[in-house]
Chain A
Amino acid sequence: MVPEWHLGAVAVPVHGVFIGVGVLAAVVVFTVEARRRGAVNEQSVVAVTGALVGGVIGMRLSGWARHLDFSANPSLAEAWQFGSRSIIGGLLGAYAGVLIAKRIGGYRGKTGDLFAPAVALGIAVGRIGCHLTEAPGRPTALPWGVHAPTSTPDCAACLTGQAMHPSFLYEIAFQLAAFATLLYLRDRFARPGELFVLYIAAYAGFRFLVEFVRANETVWLNLTRPQWVLLPSLVILGIRLWYGRRHGYYRSPAGYQEVRA
């Protein structure tokens, strides 16, 4: 059963409300950041369109690669029908959507730095809905373990009354810290787009670790599906960060100019 709030005769899905508020928060942050950078232009609008449409489709299709054995995966139609609300699927879809939209529109500028703080705050808000409606995490004896209602879907520890890791609260804390850090760093990198690379790398690393206390099913070598998706991504991102560091992408703008001169 989907947890709902009742406003009179209208039943509102709790998870959906927080996803919606998270998206609106991200749109507001993106708009403010675009205005601050003087980037309210055609390219930004095209990128936002690609991100939103790609994000919706990515979320719905994220169940497509559920199994390492591809013959056990659902068809695209089934994946759409039973599509989860995966953050990783949404982010991958949004990233692909931006690339496709910019390619179609013939735009080559970087837009990732506008998205980075917006995505961080949006996920922080959306995860409140996850915490209120999903299995919070794996059982723990730690003093900050939380309990969840027995009606929570796919939650064995909820039925036995065990305390669990508040994994979504861990992620909210990470995203809020990332949001503050990104605001601090936004004018400190010379090369456009690096803020987004840094955020995605940090989130991939955090997400890989937090999966060890999430209630997701492990599929192979005691790792969950998101961890198997993240493992090669972390290698690619690690190489990208190393390359960026070697080429001075993370120096201050003045330092970067000195190197180039």
Chain B
Amino acid sequence: MTTGPGPPYPPPAPPPPPRKISVAMVFVGAPIFIVINTVLGFAAFIVAGGQTDNSDAILGGAAVLLGLIAFGVGGYLLTVKSPQAKGIGLGLMIGWALTSLVTVGICTGINPSLYSM
């Protein structure tokens, strides 16, 4: 005597929804900003140190540039469809915020005491 076929297999589970943001790339974007900040910040300090008249303008320009990198480039990357690009975009913003908090805004140029030195 043969047994009949068993119960049918349940339908396969639906695939998980595609990720909109790559969390791993956030951990890449933040260090990228910190490296850029370090290079740009040191360059601005060195150039501003050799100037007496427009040192504030140089430091202010570097601060604006860093803000543009974090929120301009970061914001643009968030509009790109790629999850990796979105992750890096968020990472750039997190890098700016962490650097601002940890250095009391001195390294990102948002602390006014920087301009009275």
Residues of A bordering B, CB below 8 Å: 2, 13, 15-16, 19-20, 23-24, 27, 40-42, 45-46, 48-49, 52-53, 55-56, 60, 80-82, 85, 105
Contacts and interface: CB of A to CB of B under 8 A. Distances in A.
13 contacts: A2-B113, A16-B104, A20-B101, A23-B98, A42-B19, A42-B20, A46-B21, A49-B94, A53-B93, A56-B97, A56-B101, A80-B110, A81-B112
A46 B100 contact: no
Contacts of A13: 104
Interface of B: 19-21, 23, 26, 87, 90, 93-94, 96-98, 100-106, 110, 112-113
Nearest to A97: B97
B19 A55 contact: no
A246 to B, nearest CB: 36
A49 B97 CA distance: 8
B22 to A, nearest CB: 9
A15 B94 contact: no
A40 B23 contact: yes
Contacts of A24: 102
B90 A19 contact: no
Nearest to A51: B97
Nearest to B112: A81
Contacts of B110: 56, 60, 80
B93 A20 contact: no
A91 B2 CA distance: 71
Contacts of B106: 16
Given A16-B103, A20-B102, A24-B102, A52 B23 contact: no
A48 B94 contact: yes
Closest 8 CB pairs of A and B: A52-B97, A20-B102, A16-B104, A42-B21, A23-B101, A56-B100, A53-B97, A81-B112
